[in-house]
A and B are shown apart, each in its own frame.
Chain A
Protein backbone atom coordinates (compact mmCIF):
# COMPACT_ATOMS: atom_id res chain seq x y z
CA UNK A 1 0.00 0.00 0.00
CA UNK A 2 1.87 3.05 -1.15
CA UNK A 3 -0.98 5.36 -0.28
CA UNK A 4 -0.17 8.82 1.01
CA UNK A 5 -1.84 11.06 3.52
CA UNK A 6 -3.74 13.85 1.91
CA UNK A 7 -6.01 15.45 4.47
CA UNK A 8 -4.91 18.17 6.87
CA UNK A 9 -2.68 16.49 9.44
CA UNK A 10 -2.17 17.43 13.08
CA UNK A 11 -0.22 20.61 13.75
CA UNK A 12 -0.88 22.47 10.50
CA UNK A 13 -3.75 24.59 11.81
CA UNK A 14 -3.74 25.81 15.42
CA UNK A 15 -5.97 24.46 18.17
CA UNK A 16 -8.59 27.22 18.60
CA UNK A 17 -9.39 27.42 14.87
CA UNK A 18 -9.56 23.62 14.69
CA UNK A 19 -11.97 23.65 17.66
CA UNK A 20 -14.20 26.26 16.02
CA UNK A 21 -14.38 24.27 12.81
CA UNK A 22 -14.99 21.06 14.76
CA UNK A 23 -18.05 22.76 16.27
CA UNK A 24 -19.19 23.90 12.81
CA UNK A 25 -18.70 20.42 11.37
CA UNK A 26 -20.54 18.82 14.28
CA UNK A 27 -23.51 21.15 13.91
CA UNK A 28 -23.66 20.57 10.14
CA UNK A 29 -23.44 16.80 10.58
CA UNK A 30 -26.21 16.86 13.20
CA UNK A 31 -28.49 18.54 10.65
CA UNK A 32 -27.44 15.97 8.04
CA UNK A 33 -28.18 13.08 10.41
CA UNK A 34 -31.68 14.43 11.12
CA UNK A 35 -32.50 15.07 7.45
CA UNK A 36 -30.66 12.01 6.21
CA UNK A 37 -32.76 9.65 8.34
CA UNK A 38 -35.82 10.55 6.26
CA UNK A 39 -33.95 9.85 3.02
CA UNK A 40 -32.37 6.55 3.99
CA UNK A 41 -34.65 3.77 2.72
CA UNK A 42 -33.97 0.24 1.52
CA UNK A 43 -32.67 1.48 -1.80
CA UNK A 44 -30.51 4.26 -0.41
CA UNK A 45 -28.84 2.33 2.42
CA UNK A 46 -26.73 0.02 0.25
CA UNK A 47 -26.18 2.88 -2.21
CA UNK A 48 -24.83 5.10 0.57
CA UNK A 49 -22.42 2.34 1.60
CA UNK A 50 -21.27 1.79 -1.95
CA UNK A 51 -20.85 5.53 -2.60
CA UNK A 52 -18.74 5.76 0.57
CA UNK A 53 -16.66 2.75 -0.49
CA UNK A 54 -16.24 4.22 -3.97
CA UNK A 55 -15.11 7.56 -2.54
CA UNK A 56 -12.77 5.74 -0.19
CA UNK A 57 -11.19 3.92 -3.13
CA UNK A 58 -11.10 7.00 -5.36
CA UNK A 59 -9.45 9.13 -2.67
CA UNK A 60 -6.50 6.74 -2.83
CA UNK A 61 -5.71 8.32 -6.21
CA UNK A 62 -3.52 11.10 -4.97
CA UNK A 63 -1.67 13.81 -6.82
CA UNK A 64 1.23 15.37 -4.91
CA UNK A 65 1.66 19.04 -5.65
CA UNK A 66 5.40 19.21 -5.41
CA UNK A 67 5.86 22.95 -5.37
CA UNK A 68 4.74 23.27 -1.76
CA UNK A 69 4.49 19.68 -0.61
CA UNK A 70 0.74 20.04 -0.42
CA UNK A 71 -1.13 17.29 -2.18
CA UNK A 72 -4.50 17.08 -3.81
CA UNK A 73 -6.89 14.25 -4.48
CA UNK A 74 -10.35 13.41 -5.65
CA UNK A 75 -13.16 14.16 -3.22
CA UNK A 76 -16.33 12.50 -4.42
CA UNK A 77 -18.65 15.10 -2.89
CA UNK A 78 -20.47 15.73 -6.16
CA UNK A 79 -20.89 12.02 -6.85
CA UNK A 80 -22.36 11.54 -3.39
CA UNK A 81 -24.72 14.50 -3.77
CA UNK A 82 -25.95 13.20 -7.14
CA UNK A 83 -26.50 9.60 -6.11
CA UNK A 84 -27.68 9.81 -2.50
CA UNK A 85 -28.63 13.45 -2.02
CA UNK A 86 -26.94 16.24 -0.08
CA UNK A 87 -27.69 15.00 3.47
CA UNK A 88 -26.69 11.37 3.19
CA UNK A 89 -23.98 12.41 0.72
CA UNK A 90 -22.28 14.68 3.25
CA UNK A 91 -22.51 11.88 5.82
CA UNK A 92 -20.88 9.44 3.37
CA UNK A 93 -17.90 11.74 2.83
CA UNK A 94 -17.69 12.40 6.58
CA UNK A 95 -17.65 8.67 7.35
CA UNK A 96 -14.84 8.18 4.84
CA UNK A 97 -12.84 10.94 6.53
CA UNK A 98 -13.45 9.60 10.06
CA UNK A 99 -12.40 6.07 9.15
CA UNK A 100 -9.33 7.36 7.32
CA UNK A 101 -8.32 9.46 10.33
CA UNK A 102 -8.97 6.77 12.93
CA UNK A 103 -7.53 3.77 11.17
CA UNK A 104 -5.27 4.88 8.38
CA UNK A 105 -3.70 7.90 10.04
CA UNK A 106 -4.74 10.00 7.08
CA UNK A 107 -5.62 13.46 8.35
CA UNK A 108 -5.15 14.22 12.02
CA UNK A 109 -7.92 13.27 14.42
CA UNK A 110 -7.68 16.74 15.96
CA UNK A 111 -8.12 18.25 12.48
CA UNK A 112 -11.21 16.20 11.58
CA UNK A 113 -13.46 19.24 11.99
CA UNK A 114 -11.47 21.15 9.39
CA UNK A 115 -11.40 18.25 6.94
CA UNK A 116 -15.09 17.50 7.36
CA UNK A 117 -16.01 21.18 6.94
CA UNK A 118 -14.00 21.43 3.71
CA UNK A 119 -14.79 18.18 1.99
CA UNK A 120 -18.01 16.82 3.47
CA UNK A 121 -19.91 20.04 4.17
CA UNK A 122 -18.58 22.72 1.79
CA UNK A 123 -17.79 20.36 -1.09
CA UNK A 124 -21.12 18.56 -1.01
CA UNK A 125 -23.15 21.73 -0.42
CA UNK A 126 -21.54 23.55 -3.34
CA UNK A 127 -22.04 20.52 -5.56
CA UNK A 128 -25.68 20.08 -4.64
CA UNK A 129 -26.58 23.75 -5.11
CA UNK A 130 -25.07 23.60 -8.59
CA UNK A 131 -26.76 20.29 -9.38
CA UNK A 132 -30.17 21.61 -8.34
CA UNK A 133 -29.70 24.74 -10.45
CA UNK A 134 -28.15 23.09 -13.53
CA UNK A 135 -30.62 20.23 -13.74
CA UNK A 136 -33.43 22.79 -14.04
CA UNK A 137 -31.67 24.80 -16.74
CA UNK A 138 -30.01 22.14 -18.88
CA UNK A 139 -31.92 19.79 -21.20
CA UNK A 140 -32.92 16.51 -19.59
CA UNK A 141 -30.65 14.34 -21.66
CA UNK A 142 -27.62 12.23 -20.76
CA UNK A 143 -25.46 15.07 -22.09
CA UNK A 144 -27.18 17.53 -19.78
CA UNK A 145 -26.65 15.23 -16.84
CA UNK A 146 -23.01 14.74 -17.81
CA UNK A 147 -22.41 18.50 -17.95
CA UNK A 148 -24.15 18.93 -14.58
CA UNK A 149 -22.00 16.23 -12.99
CA UNK A 150 -18.80 17.55 -14.53
CA UNK A 151 -19.34 21.19 -13.55
CA UNK A 152 -20.56 20.49 -10.03
CA UNK A 153 -17.65 18.12 -9.34
CA UNK A 154 -15.14 20.63 -10.66
CA UNK A 155 -16.53 23.49 -8.61
CA UNK A 156 -16.89 21.45 -5.43
CA UNK A 157 -13.22 20.43 -5.53
CA UNK A 158 -12.08 24.03 -5.92
CA UNK A 159 -14.45 25.23 -3.17
CA UNK A 160 -13.09 22.62 -0.76
CA UNK A 161 -9.51 23.61 -1.59
CA UNK A 162 -10.33 27.26 -0.96
CA UNK A 163 -11.80 26.22 2.39
CA UNK A 164 -8.34 25.03 3.37
CA UNK A 165 -6.78 28.32 2.28
CA UNK A 166 -9.25 30.31 4.42
CA UNK A 167 -8.58 28.05 7.39
CA UNK A 168 -4.85 28.43 6.94
CA UNK A 169 -5.22 32.20 6.87
CA UNK A 170 -7.26 32.07 10.09
CA UNK A 171 -5.11 29.67 12.03
CA UNK A 172 -2.06 28.43 10.13
CA UNK A 173 0.65 27.54 12.64
CA UNK A 174 3.26 29.23 10.47
CA UNK A 175 2.79 32.77 9.18
CA UNK A 176 3.56 32.58 5.49
CA UNK A 177 3.34 36.35 5.01
CA UNK A 178 3.14 37.19 1.32
CA UNK A 179 3.49 33.54 0.41
CA UNK A 180 -0.11 32.87 1.43
CA UNK A 181 -1.22 34.18 -1.94
CA UNK A 182 1.18 31.67 -3.47
CA UNK A 183 -0.40 28.87 -1.46
CA UNK A 184 -3.87 30.00 -2.56
CA UNK A 185 -2.75 30.11 -6.19
CA UNK A 186 -1.10 26.70 -6.03
CA UNK A 187 -4.15 25.16 -4.42
CA UNK A 188 -6.52 26.80 -6.93
CA UNK A 189 -4.62 25.80 -10.06
CA UNK A 190 -3.84 22.26 -8.92
CA UNK A 191 -7.37 21.62 -7.76
CA UNK A 192 -8.71 22.97 -11.02
CA UNK A 193 -6.75 20.19 -12.74
CA UNK A 194 -7.87 17.63 -10.18
CA UNK A 195 -11.42 18.90 -10.58
CA UNK A 196 -11.31 18.07 -14.30
CA UNK A 197 -10.32 14.49 -13.46
CA UNK A 198 -12.97 14.32 -10.77
CA UNK A 199 -15.55 15.78 -13.15
CA UNK A 200 -14.81 13.14 -15.80
CA UNK A 201 -15.05 10.26 -13.33
CA UNK A 202 -18.24 11.65 -11.78
CA UNK A 203 -19.87 12.26 -15.17
CA UNK A 204 -19.10 8.79 -16.60
CA UNK A 205 -20.25 7.05 -13.43
CA UNK A 206 -23.48 9.00 -13.00
CA UNK A 207 -24.46 8.84 -16.69
CA UNK A 208 -23.96 5.08 -16.76
CA UNK A 209 -26.02 4.62 -13.61
CA UNK A 210 -28.73 6.96 -14.89
CA UNK A 211 -29.00 5.05 -18.18
CA UNK A 212 -29.38 1.63 -16.60
CA UNK A 213 -31.00 2.35 -13.23
CA UNK A 214 -32.38 5.91 -13.24
CA UNK A 215 -34.25 5.07 -10.04
CA UNK A 216 -30.92 5.03 -8.22
CA UNK A 217 -29.97 8.63 -8.97
CA UNK A 218 -31.27 10.78 -6.13
CA UNK A 219 -30.90 14.05 -8.02
CA UNK A 220 -33.25 12.81 -10.76
CA UNK A 221 -36.03 11.68 -8.40
CA UNK A 222 -37.22 15.24 -7.77
CA UNK A 223 -37.51 15.80 -11.50
CA UNK A 224 -39.92 12.95 -12.25
CA UNK A 225 -41.63 12.09 -14.48
CA UNK A 226 -39.55 13.72 -17.20
CA UNK A 227 -36.32 12.01 -16.20
CA UNK A 228 -33.87 11.15 -19.01
CA UNK A 229 -35.96 8.13 -19.74
CA UNK A 230 -35.90 5.82 -22.74
CA UNK A 231 -32.25 5.71 -23.65
CA UNK A 232 -31.27 2.20 -24.74
CA UNK A 233 -29.53 0.46 -21.87
CA UNK A 234 -25.84 -0.19 -22.31
CA UNK A 235 -25.17 -1.90 -19.01
CA UNK A 236 -22.67 -4.56 -18.22
CA UNK A 237 -19.12 -4.64 -19.43
CA UNK A 238 -18.51 -3.43 -22.88
Chain B
Protein backbone atom coordinates (compact mmCIF):
# COMPACT_ATOMS: atom_id res chain seq x y z
CA UNK B 1 0.00 0.00 0.00
CA UNK B 2 3.08 2.20 0.01
CA UNK B 3 2.85 2.95 -3.67
CA UNK B 4 0.10 4.74 -5.50
CA UNK B 5 0.57 8.29 -4.35
CA UNK B 6 -0.77 9.48 -7.66
CA UNK B 7 -3.17 8.47 -10.38
CA UNK B 8 -2.11 6.46 -13.45
CA UNK B 9 -2.21 9.49 -15.75
CA UNK B 10 0.50 11.45 -13.89
CA UNK B 11 3.81 11.80 -15.77
CA UNK B 12 6.71 12.38 -13.43
CA UNK B 13 8.85 15.28 -14.66
CA UNK B 14 10.28 18.59 -13.50
CA UNK B 15 9.00 20.69 -16.38
CA UNK B 16 7.89 24.33 -15.91
CA UNK B 17 4.26 23.23 -16.25
CA UNK B 18 4.73 20.63 -13.50
CA UNK B 19 6.17 23.30 -11.22
CA UNK B 20 3.22 25.68 -11.63
CA UNK B 21 0.96 25.69 -8.54
CA UNK B 22 -2.10 23.45 -9.04
CA UNK B 23 -4.69 26.21 -8.50
CA UNK B 24 -3.19 28.14 -11.44
CA UNK B 25 -3.34 25.09 -13.69
CA UNK B 26 -6.93 24.24 -12.75
CA UNK B 27 -8.12 27.82 -13.33
CA UNK B 28 -6.22 28.05 -16.64
CA UNK B 29 -7.63 24.73 -17.84
CA UNK B 30 -11.23 25.69 -17.00
CA UNK B 31 -10.87 29.14 -18.60
CA UNK B 32 -9.33 27.63 -21.73
CA UNK B 33 -12.16 25.11 -22.06
CA UNK B 34 -14.80 27.82 -21.65
CA UNK B 35 -13.14 29.91 -24.39
CA UNK B 36 -13.12 26.90 -26.71
CA UNK B 37 -16.78 26.13 -26.08
CA UNK B 38 -17.79 29.77 -26.64
CA UNK B 39 -16.19 29.79 -30.11
CA UNK B 40 -18.68 29.60 -32.99
CA UNK B 41 -18.27 26.32 -34.84
CA UNK B 42 -17.95 27.96 -38.28
CA UNK B 43 -14.64 29.61 -37.27
CA UNK B 44 -12.47 26.69 -38.33
CA UNK B 45 -9.20 28.65 -38.01
CA UNK B 46 -9.84 29.34 -34.33
CA UNK B 47 -9.77 25.62 -33.52
CA UNK B 48 -6.43 25.38 -35.35
CA UNK B 49 -5.12 28.12 -33.06
CA UNK B 50 -6.35 26.24 -29.97
CA UNK B 51 -4.66 23.08 -31.18
CA UNK B 52 -1.37 25.01 -31.51
CA UNK B 53 -1.81 26.29 -27.93
CA UNK B 54 -2.35 22.75 -26.65
CA UNK B 55 0.74 21.58 -28.57
CA UNK B 56 2.85 24.37 -27.06
CA UNK B 57 1.75 23.50 -23.50
CA UNK B 58 2.30 19.79 -24.17
CA UNK B 59 5.82 20.51 -25.39
CA UNK B 60 6.53 22.69 -22.34
CA UNK B 61 5.22 19.93 -20.07
CA UNK B 62 7.29 17.30 -21.95
CA UNK B 63 4.22 15.20 -22.71
CA UNK B 64 4.58 13.27 -25.95
CA UNK B 65 1.94 13.41 -28.70
CA UNK B 66 1.68 9.61 -28.77
CA UNK B 67 0.71 9.47 -25.11
CA UNK B 68 -1.85 12.25 -25.57
CA UNK B 69 -3.44 10.59 -28.60
CA UNK B 70 -3.62 7.19 -26.94
CA UNK B 71 -5.24 8.61 -23.82
CA UNK B 72 -7.71 10.76 -25.76
CA UNK B 73 -9.29 7.56 -27.15
CA UNK B 74 -11.51 7.88 -24.06
CA UNK B 75 -13.62 10.16 -26.21
CA UNK B 76 -14.60 7.40 -28.61
CA UNK B 77 -18.33 7.12 -27.80
CA UNK B 78 -18.84 10.78 -28.55
CA UNK B 79 -16.94 10.50 -31.81
CA UNK B 80 -19.40 7.77 -32.79
CA UNK B 81 -22.28 10.05 -31.82
CA UNK B 82 -20.71 12.81 -33.91
CA UNK B 83 -20.49 10.56 -36.96
CA UNK B 84 -24.16 9.68 -36.65
CA UNK B 85 -25.27 13.32 -36.66
CA UNK B 86 -24.87 14.06 -40.39
CA UNK B 87 -27.29 11.20 -41.07
CA UNK B 88 -29.81 12.06 -38.36
CA UNK B 89 -29.76 15.86 -38.48
CA UNK B 90 -32.62 17.88 -39.85
CA UNK B 91 -32.53 20.87 -42.18
CA UNK B 92 -30.76 21.43 -45.48
CA UNK B 93 -28.96 18.55 -47.09
CA UNK B 94 -25.70 18.69 -48.98
CA UNK B 95 -24.06 16.09 -51.21
CA UNK B 96 -20.79 14.73 -49.87
CA UNK B 97 -19.17 11.84 -51.74
CA UNK B 98 -22.55 10.83 -53.12
CA UNK B 99 -24.24 10.80 -49.72
CA UNK B 100 -27.00 13.27 -48.92
CA UNK B 101 -26.00 14.56 -45.51
CA UNK B 102 -27.51 17.16 -43.23
CA UNK B 103 -25.46 20.36 -43.35
CA UNK B 104 -26.43 21.20 -39.79
CA UNK B 105 -25.47 17.68 -38.79
CA UNK B 106 -22.05 18.00 -40.42
CA UNK B 107 -21.35 21.18 -38.51
CA UNK B 108 -22.69 19.55 -35.36
CA UNK B 109 -20.32 16.62 -35.82
CA UNK B 110 -17.39 18.96 -36.32
CA UNK B 111 -18.48 20.96 -33.28
CA UNK B 112 -18.49 17.91 -30.99
CA UNK B 113 -15.30 16.50 -32.46
CA UNK B 114 -13.29 19.74 -32.19
CA UNK B 115 -14.56 21.01 -28.84
CA UNK B 116 -14.67 17.58 -27.24
CA UNK B 117 -11.14 16.70 -28.33
CA UNK B 118 -9.69 20.03 -27.18
CA UNK B 119 -11.42 19.65 -23.80
CA UNK B 120 -10.08 16.12 -23.37
CA UNK B 121 -6.55 17.19 -24.33
CA UNK B 122 -6.65 20.10 -21.87
CA UNK B 123 -7.72 17.86 -18.98
CA UNK B 124 -5.15 15.22 -19.96
CA UNK B 125 -2.44 17.87 -19.75
CA UNK B 126 -3.68 18.88 -16.29
CA UNK B 127 -3.71 15.24 -15.21
CA UNK B 128 -0.26 14.56 -16.61
CA UNK B 129 1.30 17.45 -14.70
CA UNK B 130 -0.60 17.41 -11.39
CA UNK B 131 -0.52 14.78 -8.64
CA UNK B 132 -3.66 13.77 -6.82
CA UNK B 133 -2.57 15.56 -3.67
CA UNK B 134 -1.79 18.76 -5.57
CA UNK B 135 -5.18 18.62 -7.24
CA UNK B 136 -6.98 18.59 -3.88
CA UNK B 137 -4.72 21.34 -2.50
CA UNK B 138 -5.44 23.39 -5.62
CA UNK B 139 -9.19 22.97 -5.27
CA UNK B 140 -8.92 23.90 -1.59
CA UNK B 141 -6.98 27.08 -2.43
CA UNK B 142 -9.62 27.98 -5.02
CA UNK B 143 -12.07 28.18 -2.08
CA UNK B 144 -13.86 24.93 -2.91
CA UNK B 145 -16.14 24.09 0.08
CA UNK B 146 -14.29 21.94 2.57
CA UNK B 147 -16.92 19.20 2.56
CA UNK B 148 -16.26 18.68 -1.17
CA UNK B 149 -12.47 18.56 -0.87
CA UNK B 150 -12.87 16.20 2.07
CA UNK B 151 -15.04 13.81 0.05
CA UNK B 152 -12.62 14.09 -2.87
CA UNK B 153 -9.61 13.36 -0.63
CA UNK B 154 -11.20 10.23 0.78
CA UNK B 155 -12.47 9.16 -2.62
CA UNK B 156 -9.02 9.22 -4.20
CA UNK B 157 -7.53 7.53 -1.12
CA UNK B 158 -10.16 4.80 -0.87
CA UNK B 159 -9.98 4.03 -4.58
CA UNK B 160 -6.66 2.35 -3.79
CA UNK B 161 -8.18 0.56 -0.78
CA UNK B 162 -11.07 -0.67 -2.93
CA UNK B 163 -8.82 -1.92 -5.73
CA UNK B 164 -6.50 -3.58 -3.19
CA UNK B 165 -9.37 -5.36 -1.41
CA UNK B 166 -10.83 -6.49 -4.74
CA UNK B 167 -7.48 -7.96 -5.73
CA UNK B 168 -7.09 -9.78 -2.41
CA UNK B 169 -10.61 -11.21 -2.63
CA UNK B 170 -9.96 -12.39 -6.17
CA UNK B 171 -6.75 -14.12 -5.10
CA UNK B 172 -8.68 -15.71 -2.23
CA UNK B 173 -11.32 -17.01 -4.64
CA UNK B 174 -8.80 -18.36 -7.11
CA UNK B 175 -6.78 -20.11 -4.41
CA UNK B 176 -9.98 -21.87 -3.28
CA UNK B 177 -10.53 -23.41 -6.69
CA UNK B 178 -12.56 -20.73 -8.48
CA UNK B 179 -11.60 -20.28 -12.10
CA UNK B 180 -12.62 -16.76 -13.06
CA UNK B 181 -12.70 -16.23 -16.78
CA UNK B 182 -14.32 -13.56 -18.92
CA UNK B 183 -18.10 -13.45 -18.31
CA UNK B 184 -18.19 -16.26 -15.75
CA UNK B 185 -16.32 -14.24 -13.16
CA UNK B 186 -19.23 -11.81 -13.10
CA UNK B 187 -21.21 -14.21 -10.91
CA UNK B 188 -18.48 -14.43 -8.35
CA UNK B 189 -18.03 -10.68 -8.51
CA UNK B 190 -21.74 -10.02 -8.00
CA UNK B 191 -21.85 -12.33 -4.99
CA UNK B 192 -18.85 -10.63 -3.47
CA UNK B 193 -19.63 -7.00 -4.19
CA UNK B 194 -21.41 -6.39 -0.88
CA UNK B 195 -18.61 -8.06 1.07
CA UNK B 196 -16.07 -6.04 -0.88
CA UNK B 197 -17.81 -2.84 0.09
CA UNK B 198 -17.89 -3.77 3.78
CA UNK B 199 -14.27 -4.88 3.88
CA UNK B 200 -13.17 -1.71 2.14
CA UNK B 201 -15.27 0.37 4.53
CA UNK B 202 -13.87 -1.25 7.64
CA UNK B 203 -10.36 -0.78 6.33
CA UNK B 204 -11.12 2.80 5.36
CA UNK B 205 -12.65 3.48 8.78
CA UNK B 206 -9.41 2.38 10.43
CA UNK B 207 -7.45 4.67 8.09
CA UNK B 208 -9.77 7.54 8.99
CA UNK B 209 -9.47 6.95 12.74
CA UNK B 210 -5.69 6.77 12.40
CA UNK B 211 -5.78 10.12 10.59
CA UNK B 212 -8.00 11.63 13.29
CA UNK B 213 -5.68 10.46 16.05
CA UNK B 214 -2.79 12.15 14.24
CA UNK B 215 -4.50 15.52 14.23
CA UNK B 216 -6.60 15.47 11.05
CA UNK B 217 -9.38 18.06 11.25
CA UNK B 218 -11.04 17.66 7.86
CA UNK B 219 -8.46 19.75 6.05
CA UNK B 220 -5.10 18.96 4.56
CA UNK B 221 -2.16 19.87 6.84
CA UNK B 222 -1.35 23.57 6.93
CA UNK B 223 2.22 22.96 5.80
CA UNK B 224 1.00 22.41 2.27
CA UNK B 225 -1.07 25.56 2.28
CA UNK B 226 1.59 27.87 3.60
CA UNK B 227 4.35 26.83 1.23
CA UNK B 228 3.98 27.11 -2.51
CA UNK B 229 0.79 29.13 -2.89
CA UNK B 230 0.80 30.81 -6.27
CA UNK B 231 2.66 34.11 -6.62
CA UNK B 232 1.49 36.92 -8.89
CA UNK B 233 4.16 35.97 -11.44
CA UNK B 234 2.94 32.37 -11.54
CA UNK B 235 -0.64 33.52 -12.00
CA UNK B 236 0.53 35.68 -14.92
CA UNK B 237 2.46 32.78 -16.48
CA UNK B 238 -0.55 30.50 -16.08
CA UNK B 239 -2.89 33.14 -17.52
CA UNK B 240 -0.96 33.31 -20.81
CA UNK B 241 -2.73 30.36 -22.42
CA UNK B 242 -6.33 31.22 -21.47
CA UNK B 243 -5.79 34.89 -22.39
CA UNK B 244 -4.59 33.94 -25.89
CA UNK B 245 -7.54 31.54 -26.17
CA UNK B 246 -9.95 34.27 -25.05
CA UNK B 247 -8.57 36.66 -27.69
CA UNK B 248 -8.98 33.99 -30.35
CA UNK B 249 -12.55 33.31 -29.21
CA UNK B 250 -13.42 37.02 -29.17
CA UNK B 251 -12.00 37.50 -32.67
CA UNK B 252 -13.91 34.49 -33.94
CA UNK B 253 -17.13 35.80 -32.38
CA UNK B 254 -16.59 39.24 -33.94
CA UNK B 255 -15.92 37.80 -37.40
CA UNK B 256 -19.01 35.59 -37.60
Interface residues of A (CB under 8 A from B): 1-6, 9-12, 15, 18, 33, 36-37, 40, 42, 45-50, 52-54, 56-57, 62, 64, 66, 68-71, 88, 91-92, 94-96, 98-99, 101-106, 108-110, 173-179, 182, 200-201, 204-209, 212-213, 216, 235-238
> Which of these, B107, B123, B159, contacts A56 with CB under 8 Å?
B159
Known A-B contacts: A52-B158, A109-B122, A237-B169. Give 16 more (CB < 8 A).
A4-B74, A10-B116, A11-B41, A11-B116, A11-B119, A42-B212, A49-B155, A50-B201, A53-B156, A57-B159, A109-B29, A174-B89, A174-B108, A176-B90, A237-B172, A238-B192
> Which of these, A5, A96, A108, A174, contacts B155 with CB under 8 Å?
A96
20 pairs from A and B in contact (CB 8 Å cutoff):
A4-B74, A36-B147, A50-B200, A52-B151, A71-B77, A92-B151, A99-B152, A103-B9, A103-B126, A103-B130, A105-B74, A105-B121, A108-B33, A174-B107, A177-B89, A177-B90, A178-B90, A204-B193, A208-B197, A236-B199
B124 at the interface (CB under 8 A from A): yes
Contact B114 A68 (CB under 8 A): no
Contact A50 B204 (CB under 8 A): yes
Bound complex: CA of A3 vs CA of B9, how far in Å? 12
Bound complex: CA of A70 vs CA of B89, how far in Å? 15
Complex contacts, A9 vs chain B, CB 8 Å = 75, 78, 112, 115-116, 119-120
- Residue of B38, B72, B194 ringed by the most chain A CB atoms within 10 A: B194
Bound complex: CA of A5 vs CA of B36, how far in Å? 19
Complex contacts, A53 vs chain B, CB 8 Å = 154-159, 161-162, 200
Chain A: CB-nearest residue to B127: A103
Chain A: CB-nearest residue to B157: A49
Bound complex: CA of A5 vs CA of B71, how far in Å? 11
Contact B195 A102 (CB under 8 A): no
Contact B88 A176 (CB under 8 A): yes
Chain B: CB-nearest residue to A40: B147
With A5-B75, A10-B37, A174-B105: A48-B151 Cβ-Cβ less than 8 Å:
yes
Complex contacts, A48 vs chain B, CB 8 Å = 150-151, 154
Contact B190 A204 (CB under 8 A): yes
Chain A nearest Cβ from B81, distance in angstroms: 3
B85 at the interface (CB under 8 A from A): yes
Contact A66 B119 (CB under 8 A): no
Contact B77 A4 (CB under 8 A): yes
Contact A64 B80 (CB under 8 A): yes
Contact A33 B207 (CB under 8 A): no
Bound complex: CA of A82 vs CA of B204, how far in Å? 19
> Which of these, B76, B151, B197, contacts A5 with CB under 8 Å?
B76
Bound complex: CA of A66 vs CA of B41, how far in Å? 26
Per-residue A-contact encoding for B17-37, CB less than 8 Å = 1, 0 else: 000000000100110011011
Chain B nearest Cβ from A183, distance in angstroms: 8
